[in-house]
Structure 1
Amino acid sequence: MTGLGIVIATRDRADRLARTLRRLTALPERPGILVVDNASRDHTRALIARDFPQVGVLRLAENRGALARTEGVRALSTPYIAFSDDDSWWEPGALDVAAKLLDAHPRLGLLSARTLVGPAAEEDPLNDLLARSPLGPAADLPGVQVLGFLACASVVRRTAYLDAGGFHPVLFFGGEETVLAYDLAARGWGVTHCPDVVARHHPDPASPRPGRPAAQRRNDVLTAWLRRPVPRALALTRDLAAQARHDPVARQALRETLARLPAALRARRPLPPHLERAARTLDGACP
């Protein structure tokens, strides 16, 4: 498939990456695949060179978190780009469906897929949340409009992604998707959930990524400082500070939030009024 490529950001997870690459290189669509190596210290590059010579590699000098995906998007020239993580891949035929939807809907900037988790192919809870989005459909877009997605189950229009600036540097990793959805929508691009496009996600429950819960909570607050009204950002910060008195994860999240807050304030760009109304609608709909 010449019109669609796949970008995988990875760091120090060569064995899991190998399983993902076996799945992706077997897809009938034959997409081009680029692994962006976030300064791995294991045998990632040797593995790819030995077992997957058809896969491209972009080596970064340092761990750049979610920004590695942006480096991959810039390096590819395909009009559409699907993201995978080193523990996720796409169902056969899914990328063909995604490309056809993007072809047919020129305002569509990002397509959020349905995600099936683990060997039992269980529904990710996010699927139902996205499918029930109160933002509803748009006449010129497929699926239902959303302002959130799972990065490893998304397909972007390259021009839209670069127009919006990609994933935000302040957030690094963990819940980085919401700001990108906001920024795409603010520039007029559609962001929708299309359950006919299916991704598979196989996280390892035995080895969760260290620091991820704190990063998620940190980025919830930083997202508010970056794009939402000050009263909401203050309220979320106060809530996190209160939790930090007795919760070590919240304490870590608060320390990281305060360290990144000056950069977030410098990059602050509140949502336009119509999008802030949509975000508030989603605030009320999501637990």
Structure 2
Amino acid sequence: MTARRSRTSDAAPTAPVTVVVATLNRREELRGTLGRLTRLPESPPVVVVDNGSADGTAAMVAARFPQVTLVRLRENRGACARNIGVRLARTPYVAFSDDDSWWEPYSLARAADLFDRHARLGLLVARLRTGEAGRTDPVSLKMASAPLGREADLPGPSVLGFPACAAVVRRAAFLSVGGFDELLFFGGEESLLAVDLAAAGWGLAYVSAVQARHLPSPLRETPARRWSLHQRNDVLVHWMRLPLRDAARRTAMLAGRAVRDPAAARALCGLLRRLPGGIARRRPVPPSVVRRLAVLGELR
């Protein structure tokens, strides 16, 4: 890894939560996000990891937000850029933002308090509000319905997945399971981290009182490209952690669709390129985690 930090500080952080933002070529969206994050009443430390942007993103951050820690990467590290930010954090908890998302005032303070009071809590998923109108995202509505029930030592319904831009993690838990895996790169990369945390005994919970906002950038992958990346990584996670019969079945389903669907063909090609690395990383999760995924319909 080649990285350079534009600024560090020896002063103690003013909040128990650091916000980590990974970005790539979304200078204007990031400008708005940092404007909101740096005005939060909690005054959280903010770390921006720039994945080799070519649009002046890093220069904008350095000039407009000198209080932000900036890491400039020479290459795109995908979701693993967040790992770098977590390692730099000096707070016990870390929240993730995308360059087109941010946290509502006092939400990070509420999250920190819940982590302090729930020792097994490894990851908290906030209510995600999307678009100009701030409507609750369908993923949040599903989590609020508690399909996995509630555990007495967690502050909300149990979950086994999350959108990164609405997640706060216990730094020690995140680092103990390795963070985001570079093999997945990007696209549904949260799934592997969620099952690894659960397999290690950490609790994951949804809390509606903690809120994040997402104003999706128009500078996004096409829907077909996003679908392809998610499908590739979904099947790859099966090979890395879940029963082999389920991994084989999902691979066969993707291969069948690839005959007539170019997006599925791209997903299958990407899967096959990464499969040797995935098998080398294979570490089956406990049956209890497999059963919970089945409840969520992830093994259909």
User: The TM-score by the shorter chain falls in which range?
Assistant: over 0.9
Q: How far apart, in 1, do the equivalents of 2:264 and 2:102 lie?
A: 32
- In 2, Cα distance between the equivalents of 1:2 and 1:91? 15
1:243 lines up with 2:257 in the alignment: yes
Paired residues of 1:133 and 1:282 also in contact (CA < 8 A): no
Q: Which of 53, 65, 73 pairs up with 1:52?
A: 65
**Corresponding residue for 1:281?**
295
Residue 252, structure 1, aligned to residue 252, structure 2? no
Please give the per-residue CA displacement for 1:154-192, whole angstroms capped at 9, x wherever unaligned.
000000000111011211111011110111111111111
Note the 1:255-270 alignment, pairs <5 A: 255-270=269-284
Q: Within 1, Cα distance between the matches of 2:110 and 2:276?
A: 42
TM (normalized to structure 1)? Answer: 0.96
Question: Is residue 76 of structure 2 the alignment partner of residue 63 of structure 1?
Answer: yes
Number of positions where the alignment pairs a residue of Structure 1 with one of Structure 2: 285
Aligned with 1:116: secondary structure?
strand
C-alpha distance in 1, partners of 2:200/2:219?
Answer: 38
Distance in 1 of aligned mates of 2:113 and 2:202: 17
Give the fraction of aligned pairs with identical amino acids, expressed as a percent. Answer: 51
Deviation at 1:223, TM superposition (A): 1.1
Residue 283 of structure 1: how far off its partner (Å): 1.7
Unaligned runs of 5+ in 2: 1-13
Q: Secondary structure at the match of 1:48?
A: helix
SS in structure 2 at match of 1:191: strand
Q: Does the 8 A contact of 1:8 with 1:83 survive in 2? A: yes
State the Cα distance separating 1:277 from its structure 2 match: 1.5
Would the aligned equivalents of 1:110 and 1:190 in 2 still touch at CA under 8 Å?
Answer: yes
1:134 to 147, 155, 161: 147
The 5 A counterparts of 1:1-287 are: 1-204=14-217, 206-210=218-222, 211-283=225-297
Instruction: State the TM-score, normalizing by the size of structure 2.
Output: 0.92
Kept after mapping to 2: 8 A contact 1:39/1:63:
yes
Q: What is the RMSD computed on CA atoms of the aligned residues?
A: 1.4
Q: Distance in 2 between matches of 1:182 and 1:220?
A: 12
1:59 Cα deviation after fit: 1.5
What letter corresponds to residue 134 of structure 1 in structure 2?
A: P
